[in-house]
Amino acid sequence: MGSFALLAATLLSAWTLFSKELQVAQALDNGVAKLPVLGYNTWNAYHCDINETVVLQAAKLMVSLGLSDVGYKHVNIDDCYAEKNRSASGDIVADKERFASGMNHLTKQIHDLGLKAGIYSDSGWFTCQLYPGSYQNEARDAKLFQDWGFDYLKFDNCAVPYDHIIREGIVGKYKRMADAIQELSKKSGKPPLIFSLCEWGEEQPWLWARRYGQSWRTTGDISPNWGSIANIINQNSFIAWASDFHGHNDMDILEIGNGDLTHEEAKTHFTAWALMKSPLLIGTDLSTISDDDLAILKNEEILAISQDPVVGTSVTPFRWGINPDWVSNSTHPAQYWSGESQNGTVFMLINTLDEPADLFFSLTESPWIRAGRQYSVRDLWTHTDNGTAVRNFTAHAVPPHGVVALLLKDAGDEPPNAGPPCARAEWCIDRNGTLAPGA
């Protein structure tokens, strides 16, 4: 009887812990950032050279350029908005010169445009530019950000306290602010701040960060060149499974409009970020953006996949192409990707070479394609219907570092005599037990 009681107590304890974990996960599924956040961030364009005029101008351009109409709703202030010291009462203080009108005035203007406002802080003593961080002030700062009118918090990973002070790993360090945000929401009755964990992929956040926030950075900082874009795609190819509703791998702020990216590279950059369900935060000076770059950011067929309300998962590689499958290569990431959507199967093909290339695949290499069926082909960049694919598809002369994005929809049974008995010959067998040719 004693052993049974001990077993029962152990099982009850385990269930209690499991139930608490479930409650934490469910608490994040509260209508905040179910889909990847679309918006603007000041860092890549301005770094520390920000003020209320710059931020408000970006917000107004989001509206006048039609970006808000296609879903970009957040205007996020990054580092360097604060005074170097907290107030006598312990609060972060907005820079009195650069944000002279105050944060409440700024967020009201942003909200009046039909947009949402985001702010930045750090899980350590200081931000990465040595402004006040939020360590040991998590509850105070979360309330301040809410009182200022912000809807979103990017939380960085600099200025880590000594071990004997923090006595936590990176998980516990981010849990502190996550707990403060959830507690504030309960007390205030307001939606929680969207919580974006910016810890650069340290300690595998794709395994744990969805407990605490709605997105998590997966790599170090992006740069406006093809090498950086290819490297980030490569690193994320192995963890693309982690994105789903309410929790997304964050591949970093977009560089479209910056640096020396070619038009094709910019399209690949945007397509990969969107179809892999990363947040899409514009990071260029919108007052000087080109029509071509603006058209990339406003591709509504690509954005529809990003913002699919029915399917929250990312495209994933079904074949790496140049490299053997599951081999990491920072200059030649996976080339052949597919995923589900509410309207069909999405394919992304990337030419990682420095010269044009044909990209060929068999439809049933993707797990989302049915054998024995034919599929209509929609090109999400040319915005054209390109006939019907049976068994195979070839994208011809894809430009260097270019991309092809397709939406395939089931168009019925494939025609008679479309090819061998099985598109994939392995273990293809007649009901009488005879292996098909090539099996």
Tens of pLDDT along 155-193?
999 999 999 999 999 999 999 999 999 999 999 999 999
Task: State the pairing for strand pair 280-282/316-319.
Answer: unpaired
Tokens of 120: 């930045």
Catalytic residues: 156, 221
- 94-146 pLDDT tens trace: 999 999 999 999 999 999 999 999 999 999 999 999 999 999 999 999 999 99
Q: What is the mean pLDDT of residues 347-363?
A: 98
**Model pTM?**
0.93
Residue 438: pLDDT band by 50, 70, 90 thresholds? confident
- Non-local (6+) Cβ contacts of 70 within 8 A are 298, 300, 303
Rounded to the nearest 5°, which phi and psi values hold at 308? -60, 120
250 within 8 A of 270, measured Cβ to Cβ: no
Residue 27 CB neighbours (<10 A): 15
Residue percentage of the chain with pLDDT more than 70: 93
Cβ neighbours of 438 (radius 10 Å): 10
Sheet holding 215-217, edge to edge: 248-250, 215-217, 194-197, 152-156, 116-122, 74-76, 38-41, 280-282
pLDDT at 27: 35
Residue-level pLDDT at 28: 58
Q: What is the mean pLDDT of residues 193-217?
A: 97
According to the model, what pLDDT value does residue 437 have?
A: 87
265-284 pLDDT per residue, tens: 999 999 999 999 999 999 99
Q: Where are the beta strands (DSSP E) in 114-222?
A: 116-122, 152-156, 194-197, 215-217
Percent of the chain with pLDDT over 90: 92
Identify the DSSP state of 284: S
> 3-class SS at 50?
coil
Residue 266, both tokens: 């910019």
pLDDT in tens, 59-93: 999 999 999 999 999 999 999 999 999 999 999 99
pLDDT surpasses 60 at 364: yes
**What's the Cα-to-Cα distance from 69 to each of 13, 39, 113, 274, 299, rounded to whole Å?**
50, 11, 12, 17, 12
pLDDT band at 9 (very low <50, low <70, confident <90, very high): very low
Stretch 152-157: mean pLDDT: 98
The tens digit of pLDDT for each residue in 17-70 reads: 444 444 433 335 767 999 999 999 999 999 999 999 999 999 999 999 999 999
Question: In degrees to the nearest 10, what's the CA dihedral of 284, 288, 289, 291?
Answer: 180
